[in-house]
Amino acid sequence: MLTFALGLHSVDGLRDWTGGVHQAPRLIVASLVVSWPLAGVLGGLGIDGAAALALAASGGAALGSIVLRALLRAVAHRATPLRQRALIVGSGVVAAQVVSRLRNHEAIGVEAVGIADDEVADVGTPGVPTLGTIDELPELIQRESLDRVIISFTRARHDRLLGVIRTCRDQGVAVDVVPRLFEFLEGATPVDAIRGLPLLSLDAPVLAPRAKAAKRALDVVGSSLALLVLLPLMLWIALAIKLESPGPVLFRQRRAGRDGHAFEVMKFRTMRLDAEELKSDLLRANDVRDGVMFKLWRDPRVTPLGRRLRRLSLDELPQLVNVLRGEMSLVGPRPLVFEEAGSLAESWQARRLELKPGITGPWQVGGRNHVTFQDMLRLDYQYVTGWSLARDIEILISTIPAVLSRRGAY
């Protein structure tokens, strides 16, 4: 059995295009180990700069394999014959969230064909048909050609759910279970602690000074190298913006940083100069109905060049300067405008301010504008309370295929 935590990857089998990226820290360490004997071989052949060449070759091979694997999965999981057919056992709000996640993340490669439950909940029932009851599962597996069953929250008894799992295992169907309290399981470690009874162990989150220093070192080195490499592209973008429309090249806006302190985030300008004046006239057309965020699929204020920049997140490149200044991090919670930050009513939501906001984060990898405001808060909370340097590296590498897929970007 495997666990399907909403907003997270399952621990086995159910992977989207970022599958394998979680192995990035290990591959990077392995590349460092491999580079030493490779450097010795190259040095023995009399090649100058053998150590640097070996490190670059092994590191490039590791990074290339991660990105290539992610891109191949992105293509394969969107092919209809390769997509898995899934039945949701359960109903209500959480079942609806499962269906929504699967629909908004096609690259996972799973399609929800319907639900099965003894008592279908009226609240939050997902927009898929009810195919039958739990007792009808054996027939549903055959009739619907199911590949997997996702057990969501249901009022069915424990023994009946065990029967669901046994039926699936007998018929060769994969099983996923949405655990209770799934919002808090980031960083959980499975432990066989009490005579065969599996537990999920959640350690108290502590961001030690050494960890803070490591995160800052990653930010400084990463942003410096990125600015050095991307400077020609950034100059070209700045010139193109200046030639396309009147106004400044950069867009500056006050955002809530770590501990709620204000800072000025920088982006390449992607809108007309009168964008703020036009916003009030467009509020009714808002594509986000959470009462907080304002997003338009076809925003008339966005310039043609700005739309292209947004699709590839190139408008956010100036934030590398924010990172170098120490105002932001390469990876972190989404930087909120103060209007959005003011809507955080619950104390756990404020935990997202314990780390600096990031250029990328779990919300970027999870689907950008497809992620609702409340889901983004949950993802940020999970990231902050389960932070690790390995997790930052994983998210950084996952961002590459996320941006190239253009999913949720507008």
What is the per-residue pLDDT across 235-260, written as a single tens digit (0 to 9) for each? 999 999 999 888 899 999 999 888 88
- What pLDDT sits at residue 13? 47
* Residue 117 amino acid letter: D
In whole angstroms, how large is the CA radius of gyration of the chain? 23
Comparing 54-68, 95-109, 170-184, the range with the smallest average pLDDT is: 54-68
Q: How far is CA 244 from the centre of its chain?
A: 33
89-93, 276-280, 298-302: lowest mean pLDDT where?
276-280
DSSP string across 173-213: -EEEE--TTGGG-TT-EEEEEETTEEEEE-PPP---HHHHH
Backbone φ, ψ for residue 162 (5° rounding): -60, -35
Show the tokens assigned to 159: 């023994």
For residue 254, tell me if it sits in a domain.
yes
Question: Would you say residue 84 lies in a domain?
Answer: yes
> How many other CB atoms are found less than 10 A from the CB of residue 252?
12
**Mean pLDDT for the chain overall:** 76
Nearest to 102 by CA among 131, 126, 76, 71: 126
Residues 193 and 132 in one domain: yes
Once rounded to an integer, what is the mean pLDDT over residues 128-153?
A: 90
Of 201, 236, 267, the residue at which a domain comes to its end is 201
**Which residue, 309, 301, 300, is CA-closest to 240?**
309
| pLDDT of amino acid 192 | 54
Q: What is the pLDDT of residues 133-144, one digit of tens each?
A: 999 999 999 999
**Beta strand 336-337 pairing with 250-256:** antiparallel
Q: Is residue 137 included in any domain, yes or no?
A: yes
Residue 92 · residue 124 · CB < 8 Å:
yes
pLDDT score of 62: 60
Residues 146 and 230 in one domain: no
Claim to verify: residue 177 and residue 155 sit in the same structural domain:
yes
Residue 40 has pLDDT above 70, yes or no: no
- pLDDT tier for residue 348 given thresholds of 50, 70 and 90: confident
CA distance 56 to 256: 38
Per-residue pLDDT at 12: 38
Output the domain CATH number for residue 172.
3.40.50.720
Q: How confident is the model at residue 295 (pLDDT cuts 50, 70, 90)?
A: low
Asked if pLDDT for residue 10 goes beyond 50, the answer is no
**Average pLDDT for residues 15-27, to the nearest whole number?**
50
Which segment of 117-126, 288-297, 350-359, 383-392 scores lowest on mean pLDDT? 288-297
- Overall number of domains in the chain: 3
pLDDT higher than threshold 70 for residue 128? yes
Q: What is the pTM of this model?
A: 0.64
Residue labelled with tokens 């057309």? 285
Residue 19: pLDDT over 60: no
Given a contact cutoff of 8 angstroms between Cβ atoms, the answer to whether 150 and 168 are in contact is no
Average pLDDT over residues 38-42: 53
Which pair of tokens denotes residue 161?
């759910």
High-pLDDT (> 70) share of the chain, %: 65
Average pLDDT for 148-163: 85
CA-nearest of 205, 391, 230, 402 to 323 is: 230
The answer to whether residue 410 sits within a structural domain is no
Shared-domain flag, residues 214 and 318 = yes
CB-side neighbour CA atoms (13 Å) of 106: 11
Residue 359 — pLDDT band, cuts 50, 70, 90?
very high
Question: Does a structural domain hold residue 280?
Answer: yes
Give yes or no: residues 215 and 300 share one domain.
yes
Residue 370: what pLDDT?
A: 65
Residues 399, 409: contact at Cβ < 8 Å?
no
Any domain includes 94: yes
List the domain range (segments joined by +) for residue 162.
2-13+78-201
Burial class (CB in 10 A: 0-12, 13-18, 19+), 119: exposed
The pLDDT of residue 311 is above 80:
yes
